[in-house]
Amino acid sequence: MKILKAFLLATMATTVVAAVVFAATASAQSVKATVHGHVTNPLGQNFTGGDVKFTKDLTVPYKDEKFLNSVAIDAGGNYKATDVASGDYFVYVIQGDKVIDRQDLTVKAGDDKTLDFDMTRAEYVKSMTPEEKKALEEYKKKNAEIVDANKVIEGLNATLKTVRADLDAAAPTKADVTKDIDMMKQAVAAKADTGLLWVTLGNTQLAQGDHLKAEDKKTNANPLTDDAVLKEYSDAIDAYKKAQTLDAAEAKPNTAEEGATYNQMGTTYGHENKLDDAAAAFESAAKVDPPAAAKYYKNEAIVLENGGQNDGAAAAADKAIAADPKQALPYYLKGQALVAKSTYDEKAQKLTAPPGCVEAYQMFLQLAPPNDPLVAEVKTVLASLGEKIDSKYKAPPKK
């Protein structure tokens, strides 16, 4: 008691000062700190879908710790706690009920501290189990492969965009597209299992064949005896066949793409004057892609008529009409194929068209818009046959 009394007496002189110090300390402790940072997973990517939690229970098992602050990690891997009292902490990264990472932290009143969790750090990786390290390395390898594949795909998409633009620009003038062929050859070499790339390669080779063909015509040369022309067309057919094989092997083949590929094959065979092969390709297109059958049969009729096979052209036009009777052009193509079989009656001095010809022309006039450049031609043909022209335009109904 004497010691206690002496202690009290000794401290009385400093009572006022102590009170001031206490008040200042209490005021300081009421000021909170801010802690923020970024969380990175072992792959160096943003860590998301977890929380950052703060505890001062440094001497008890994790399951018994009480967390004073808890903030979510956002989609960018960032977190921010704005109400952290001063003191010593364990700061955890938690996902569900699993501890992902932990760091020590000392906070003073008013601090604005950055505490990043970088799980690529050597200390963290060293703490992983052998199984976790193995899984991490395997994932890194797969991820690197995916990244490389995505880079290839990005490059191929850029190539496709450029080549398609070049082909559109070259089509009206039959310009040279050699550089686009080279680009597409590199593309298929990079990813030979993609049918779309082979189709586009075929399209560039077809366009180059048309370019060389146009150049031959300027000098009155026969393009069908020009090996350079025939090689481009042959290479295009090979590319389309490769694409067709790849597309057909898909678990769920894209029938529209298959049909479009057969259509391009038919067009190319037509340019080679291989009319039977062309017809077979268009028929295959219509079979594999029925919704677009009218288009494929129409193209077949055009190619066969251009090649002088009027019977085949008329039959193909009939198929196009059956598939879509509201399209005008197939009626014109049928009329053109049949009018070639017209006979001339010397006694009556009159052309007589075969059955179905006049009717086809009349239907064309009813369906074609008045400004269609073929309207005047059809009217002239009908007039030469002595037929009354029924040109009342009947627009097909909207689909």
Percent of the chain scoring above 70 in pLDDT: 90
pLDDT of 398 over the 60 cut: no
Mean pLDDT on 157-164 = 96
Q: Burial, 168: exposed, middle or buried (Cβ in 10 Å; 0-12, 13-18, 19+)?
A: exposed
Q: Please, which pLDDT band fits residue 259 given cuts at 50, 70 and 90?
A: very high
For the chain, residues classed under CATH 2.60.40.1120 are 31-129
Mean pLDDT on 36-40 = 98
Please report the pLDDT score of residue 146 as a whole number: 81
Q: Please, which pLDDT band fits residue 397 given cuts at 50, 70 and 90?
A: low
Please give the C-alpha separations between residue 155 and each of 112, 201, 286, in angstroms, as whole numbers: 44, 16, 33
Mean pLDDT on 256-281 = 97
Average pLDDT, the chain: 90
Residue 324's identity, in one-letter code, is D
Fill in the DSSP letter of residue 354.
P
Please report the pLDDT score of residue 14 as a whole number: 36
Percent of the chain scoring above 90 in pLDDT: 80
Please report the pLDDT score of residue 140 as a whole number: 86
Please report the pLDDT score of residue 10 as a whole number: 33
Instruction: Check residues 17 and 163 and name the one with the higher pLDDT.
Output: 163
Please report the pLDDT score of residue 24 as a whole number: 44
State how far the Cα of 344 lies from the Cα of 103, in Å rounded to an integer: 102
CATH class of the region 31-129: mainly beta
State how far the Cα of 77 lies from the Cα of 39, in Å rounded to an integer: 5
pLDDT of 3 over the 80 cut: no
Mean pLDDT on 310-318 = 97
3-state SS, 219-235, equals CCCCHHHCHHHHHHHHH
Mean pLDDT on 124-138 = 92
Please report the pLDDT score of residue 28 as a whole number: 47
Please report the pLDDT score of residue 9 as a whole number: 31
Q: What is the pLDDT of residues 66-104, one digit of tens each?
A: 999 999 999 999 999 999 999 999 999 999 999 999 999
DSSP 181-229: HHHHHHHHHH-TT-HHHHHHHHHHHHHHHHHHHHHHHHTT--GGG-HHH
Check: CB of residue 312 under 8 Å from CB of residue 306: no
Q: Please, which pLDDT band fits residue 6 given cuts at 50, 70 and 90?
A: very low
Q: Please, which pLDDT band fits residue 144 given cuts at 50, 70 and 90?
A: confident
pLDDT of 30 over the 70 cut: no
Query: Rounded to the nearest 5°, which phi and psi values hold at 70?
Result: -150, 125
Exposed e or buried b per residue across 183-211, where buried means at least 16 C-beta atoms within 10 angstroms of its C-beta: bbbebbeeeeebbbbbbbbbbbbbbbbbb
Lowest mean pLDDT among 83-92, 145-154, 268-277, 370-379: 145-154
Q: What is the pLDDT of residues 344-384, one digit of tens each?
A: 877 767 888 999 999 999 999 999 999 999 999 999 999 98
